Structure 1
């Protein structure tokens, strides 16, 4: 049987995470250099509490979703990037609602998060079966052997390549000032991430919750819905009439801050 043998070790996951953080940080630095006004606008409406909400939401979402998927099957608690993304969105939207901030604040995070996922998934692949992110068996010629002699779908590579394709569309569009990338880049990212992850979940041996759908199908369905609803109801930018909405926060002089991409 044709398959690609992958050398694996559980500890590879950790340097994979480190490389993903480095790549994400470099991507964030480049985005800041390329679009400094975006960072300035974000800083005007996001005090430390915003980032606390983002971090807490991400951590809780990551471990809650991952553990709900593994613990019922007798496996150890785990974490999930899909859960982290969903949790971070819940945390941030809750903070924005409490503080009267309107509009999207996610544009500055699109590039670093997408790059981090693209790089980090390779660490999951080389961590092997212990990472619990492997695919179901396949007869396709690119099936990978992660140490048990069974050719499996390399779902980690599928996800990494999906993010790479998104970046190939997003980065040039952002540099050219395309409206969708400028005003709704984060919503586009959430939709694309949720859609591709929803598809690959059919190729994973995770426990089913409703019919053929597992926990991550439901999370990704929620992410897709969130992206479409925000995109549809984003309003109109006050400065040039493009898609998006004025991002404002109650201040002593009640001066609006324009929408972040």
Structure 2
């Protein structure tokens, strides 16, 4: 068992570090993938980003609070809310096709870094795993070895980011044309798996709220990828 020094304040440190990592990722995208950034700017207005931000905030607090039955927020909910806000804006303004490619690297980096803040925030963060007998179980202050689900998610998204970067360099169609939806699908699949290792209340059989949300996100990604191939 690995004893982790925890403090709720680390959640805020993790959030700040995640935003910094996302900003660095955004700068990389601007410098290395400028045509994609310019294409996004040409197809959108400030209302696009306002819809994205409002959707993310609403989704984060809605799903986080529903899951814990108390005021809280969630990165999964923020992603779902941002997607809903953007897709509504696109529908109202007649914008077709994917616009999320430039956000993939910043989002990945934000999740990779931010999840470590959740880990060091300890039990009050309510993102801990179920008890385990595995040697890498983490003690977050209660003397119980738990699944380090935060680390699992961080490493899973790091692996996706490395694969995505490699595919971009090789101009692979899935990364160039469907990068955002590939990101959503990868996030949904790995998060669906880790949810079985969390003590959240079940809603349908053994599935919790985030299981159902991940099914929805995966369906969204697969439908977009299939539809894009038919166009």
Query: Aligned to 1:233, what secondary structure does the other structure show?
Result: helix
**TM superposition shift of 1:102:** 0.2
Look up the match of 1:255. Answer: none
Shift of 1:199: 0.3
CA RMSD between the two structures: 0.8
Rg larger for: 1
Is 2:105 aligned against 1:111? yes
Deviations along 1:117-144, one digit per CA (max 9) or x if unpaired, are 0000000000000000000000001000
Q: Measure the CA separation in 2 of the matches of 1:176 and 1:24.
A: 23
SS at match of 2:178: helix
**Distance apart, 1:69 and its partner CA:** 0.7
- Structure 1 position 42 matched with structure 2 position 44: no
Match of 1:199 in 2: 193
Indicate the residue corresponding to 2:22 in structure 1: 24
Counterpart CA distance in 1 for 2:221 and 2:133 is: 35
Match of 2:121 in 1: 127
Residue 131 (structure 2) aligns with? 137
**Aligned residue in 1 for 2:53:** 55
- The structure carrying a bigger helix percent of its residues is 2
> For residues 12 and 121 of structure 1, what CA distance do their matches in structure 2 show?
11
What residue is the counterpart of 2:5 in the other structure? Answer: 7
Deviation per CA, 1:179-229: give whole Å up to 9, x if none.
110000001100000000000000000011000000000000001000100
Q: The residue matched to 1:133 in structure 2 has which SS?
A: coil
Q: Which runs of 5+ in 1 are unaligned?
A: 237-244, 246-261
Aligned equivalent of 1:180, options 151, 174, 177 = 174
Q: Give the deviation of 1:154 after TM superposition.
A: 0.2
2:221 alignment partner, one of 224, 227, 234: 227
Alignment pair present for 1:78 and 2:76: no
Structure 2 residue runs without a partner (length 5+)? none
Rounded to whole Å, the distance in 1 between the matches of 2:201 and 2:33 is 43
Structure 1 residue 168 displacement after superposition: 1.2
Task: State the TM-score, normalized to the length of structure 1.
Answer: 0.87
